[in-house]
Structure 1
């Protein structure tokens, strides 16, 4: 005799709320770290935000200019900072989110 009322359930079926909870947790784990790139002038005791950035877990960086015409995607934070060189001013990175572990290229 065959049971025709049983429903085949995939072992990984999630209720919609559980799936959303998994997506929320993954977004928190994989979220890029935000930072600002400053040009600091110690002699003038002044600074300006040159760009805002996102650093992803694989080390890649996205910059969008604020005080400078900078926009791009870079393989590392170090390569992103090269385009932020601003005269003789010191370049400084201020992390908005907790500073991530350094990537091999940083």
Structure 2
């Protein structure tokens, strides 16, 4: 079990902003998962990987793929209080789910 969080590399987010967006995505997708997936993932150490996306369109393409595969996922839209404009799409989380299912959606991406 794992979760992949995909963050946009084209926004130039600072380290703290990136960490916040990744945390938002992780929690939102966790809440989208069913009880069994949440329990299994928590029991296995809550494995996460943070990956790069080149832009907004890539995040939506990946979200569509996760949706079609029936995987828990979440898109983050920033509130706009600090570095980003309100509504900026900054990150996507896929999972928690079985490693191979998450990899089928995000396996071609580079580590952040």
Higher relative contact order structure (alpha carbons within 8 Å, sequence separation ≥ 6):
2
TM-score, length basis structure 2: 0.28
Going by fraction, where is helix more abundant, 1 or 2? Answer: 2
Going by fraction, where is strand more abundant, 1 or 2? Answer: 1
TM-score, length basis structure 1: 0.29
Q: Which has the larger radius of gyration?
A: 1
